[in-house]
Amino acid sequence: MSSILVLDDRRADRELLAILLRRAGYDVSLAPTGETALAAARSDPPDLVITDILMPVMNGYEFVRRLRAHPETGSVPVVFYTANYLEREVKRLAAACGVSHFIAKPSDVDTILATIGEVIGAPRSVLRPLPGGEFDREQLRLLNDKLVEKVAELEALGAERRKLVGQLINAHEQERKRIAEDLHDDSVQAVVALRMRLETLAARVGDPGLARELAGLEEHAAAAVDRLRGLLFEIQPVELDTSGVAVALRTSLERASAEDGLDFELVDRTSRPHGQAVRSLLYRVGREALANVRNHAGASRVEVRLEDDGEGFALEVRDDGRGFDPEQGLRVRPGHLGLPAMRERVEITGGRLELESRPGSGTALRVWLPDVEAP
């Protein structure tokens, strides 16, 4: 029975391979690291080693180089089993290690067994590895190329994620717009009609007491209309689409000033229009920050600034309120998801959120968003 040593830092991969090989009649031992594999091979040299390439601490190339350097294991054949093999990148270095066979992850059982049978059946020869310095240079070049490739892949994934986030935000805004239109066309109009009917009835009845009751009901209906219109503004402010973030936030600030006596200053230094996704997210974060100022800060003044640095847009909301411990404010607590939710929404687009505050010294919330847009 031929013996096979499997080296792979991923437990699931090495155990799956072990199951397949044992069912085929091979004696299989497993190693999670290069060091443990070298110790096992030197203690009881196997008929074949199957190893991954990209592993922490000791990668597959370095493992094979050390395996070849030991007289008792220098002729042990090796197969690379990897999802990261590209022939143009590794052919020379693999050949220098005496490795000519590869099994791709994943592969079917027949391919795996055929490759192993071919390697075990071939005649052995003692292989000399590349000199240490040359080997290290080749390995460094190869790993650098792989790193550059992975960075490019991550950048592409980041761009795709930002694209999808932009599409998601746009879809969310479209749904808000639909709900707002439904409320306006149905609920608001129905309550307005009820109010007008109550007003007409109050003018017609001869009983003063009944007229007063009807007038009271008409006032309640009028208040309901105002609340519904306020809800419409919260869901989808008309100014956000027609005039932009600054105008929509100014409307919110004017309402806060009228209702709470909050003094405010708004400075808009943006030089170009925001795309829909950025416009929506900036406004939503700004509104949430203003709601926190009104509900929790005990502030008398708030300053809002919008800026454009050419690569993205920044929003700052600063108040002179009581302040708080930022670490506490950014922790998720039952019923208090405002700041953590804001940070999550910002960071998922590739942006950042910074919070500056301490008890008794007010709060400054700064947000920067990349120019995320969906095509």
Phi-psi region of 129 (alpha: psi -120 to 50; beta: other; left: phi over 0): beta
Closest by Cα among 103, 87, 89 to 8? 103
What's the mean per-residue pLDDT of the chain? 81
pLDDT tier for residue 368 given thresholds of 50, 70 and 90:
very high
**In this predicted model, which residue has the larger pLDDT, 310 or 124?**
310
| 180 pLDDT tier (thresholds 50, 70, 90) | low
Higher pLDDT, 165 or 358: 358
Question: Per-residue confidence at 334, pLDDT binned at 50, 70, 90?
Answer: very low
Q: What is the pTM (predicted TM-score) of this model?
A: 0.49
Give pLDDT, residue 222: 80
pLDDT digits (tens, 9 = 90+) for 48-93: 999 998 888 888 888 998 898 888 888 899 999 887 655 555 666 7
Query: Whole-angstrom Cα distance, residue 253 to residue 283?
Result: 12
Counting Cα atoms < 13 Å in the Cβ hemisphere of 288 gives 20
Instruction: Tell me the two tokens of residue 110.
Output: 């027949």
Mean pLDDT lowest among 110-124, 152-166, 180-194, 331-345: 331-345
What is the distance of C-alpha 350 from the center of its chain? Answer: 8
Q: What is the 3-state secondary structure (H, E, C) of the chain?
A: CCEEEEECCCHHHHHHHHHHHHHCCCEEEEECCHHHHHHHHHHCCCCEEEECCCCCCCCHHHHHHHHHHCCCCCCCCEEEEECCCCHHHHHHHHHHCCCCEEEECCCCHHHHHHHHHHHHHCCCCCCCCCCHHHHHHHHHHHHHHHHHHHHHHHHHHHHHHHHHHHHHHHHHHHHHHHHHHHHHHHHHHHHHHHHHHHHHHHHHCCCHHHHHHHHHHHHHHHHHHHHHHHHHHHHCCHHHHHCCHHHHHHHHHHHHHHHHCCEEEEEEECCCCCCHHHHHHHHHHHHHHHHHHHHHHCCCEEEEEEEECCCEEEEEEEECCCCCCHHHHCCCECCECHHHHHHHHHHCCCCEEEEEECCCCCEEEEEEEECCCCC
What are the pLDDT digits (tens) for 239-281?
A: 777 888 899 899 889 988 998 899 999 999 988 877 777 888 8
Instruction: Tell whether the model's pLDDT for residue 337 goes beyond 50.
Output: no
The CA radius of gyration of the chain, in Å to the nearest whole number, is: 34
Cα dihedral angle (57, 62, 67, 69), rounded to 10 degrees?
Answer: -120
pLDDT beyond 50 at 336 = no
